[in-house]
Amino acid sequence: MTIPFFDGHNDTLLRLLEDARPDKVALFRDGLAEAHIDLPRARAAGMAGGFFAMFPPPVKTSLSDVAASPANAKGELPPRLDLADAQRSTNAMAAILFRLERAGTLAVCRSAADIRAAMAAERLAAIFHIEGAEAIDTDFDGFEVLYAAGLRSLGITWSRANAFGTGVPFRHPADPDIGPGLTDAGKELVRLCDARGVMIDLSHLNAAGFRDVAAISTRPLVATHSNVHAICPTTRNLVDWQLAAIRESGGVVGLNFAALFLRPDGANDADTPIEVMVRHIDALVEALGEDGVALGSDFDGATMPAEIRDVGGVPKLLQALLDKGYGQALVRKIALGNWLGLVERVIG
Ligand code: ZN
């Protein structure tokens, strides 16, 4: 029996954008074996939908820019990205998303009701998410346009600084308390997101920015793709006070499947057993309660444990939880119910 699941984070739109072949709809619909997610494998695995991230990539003008990936980073923040460059790539990824919708492969969902309707119609449910607000200007004109297009989830920063805040550099072992908090524009962005029902994703934000969001936002706090710092002490994972703040707000954390955010040694090594993922889930359930834990794979954006490999491996993780003694009801909440409930509470 396949357990349906909803995924808190994938970079599949960027993966499709960067593929040299022009027909992105065909790549996604008919299968793209090199990617972690395509339609045939998503359906077979029980993927009901997920947050489809638009991450504006570094503009690849030099080797050091290309080296801005976690594996290659030297512990410094990657360079800032210009508004125009971010708008160009975000526009291109949004266009792919809407072409996929037009072709009938997925439905762009603006509420929990939309997700349920997509599931009933057996269409993949996609939430329009931007990872880093570089495509938004400080007059918020871009916010209006993106919101009208369907934006319902937003990471204020990726792991770099922008007009709104500062993300964490990729460091291990290190605490996420690095760098300044939100700018005035960043604080305004939080209020705007709250007012419109746009979910704020804390996953790449530094500790000072996290504190600012927690102080300003009246909504549940969410980290779509982060793990437990006490197990894997990377800047990208959540320390105890952050987990406590998320729990207190009634928020959710999605388990990141990336090897380097799972392993205690922080190595970007696919030879990482599912057991390590289960350890993080155990700790997240302990810290957040049964309503606070979900999935946030980072598919198409990171090195996966070999046993998982791609979206087809998610049922193995859910089976591992059942084998560990997690009841059916709890596994179904971690897989799907907790994201649906959170979307309902924050987005509507
Ligand atoms: Zn990310």
Q: Among 222, 320, 326, which Cα is nearest to 9's? A: 222
Q: How far is the CA of 298 from the centre of ligand 1 (A)?
A: 7
Q: How far is the CA of 297 from the centre of ligand 1 (A)?
A: 10
Residues 312-334: tens digit of each pLDDT: 999 999 999 999 999 999 999 99
5-346 CATH choice from 2.10.70.10, 3.40.50.300, 3.30.1330.10, 3.20.20.140:
3.20.20.140
Half-sphere exposure of 207 (CA within 13 A, CB side): 16
pLDDT above 50: residue 259: yes
Q: How far is the CA of 157 from the centre of ligand 1 (A)?
A: 9
Residues 62-91: tens digit of each pLDDT: 555 544 455 455 688 989 999 999 999 999
Average pLDDT, rounded, for the chain? 96
Q: Among 184, 197, 192, 185, which Cα is nearest to 134's? A: 185
pTM reported for the whole predicted model: 0.96
Strand partners of residue 132: none
**Mean pLDDT, range 167-196, rounded to an integer:** 97
**Mean pLDDT, range 231-254, rounded to an integer:** 98
CA angle 136, 140, 143 (to 5 degrees): 60
C-alpha separations of 86 from 19, 89, 246 in Å: 18, 5, 29
Q: How far is the CA of 225 from the centre of ligand 1 (A)?
A: 7
* Sign of the torsion formed by the C-alpha atoms of 91, 93, 96 and 102: negative
Q: What is the domain partition of the chain in residue ranges?
A: 5-346
Running DSSP on this structure, what letter comes out for residue 199? E
Q: How far is the CA of 238 from the centre of ligand 1 (A)?
A: 14
Which token pair is 264?
A: 């205690």
**Mean pLDDT, range 89-106, rounded to an integer:** 98
Q: How far is the CA of 43 from the centre of ligand 1 (A)?
A: 23
Q: For the residues of 9-20, what is the DSSP string, one character each?
A: EE-HHHHHHHSS
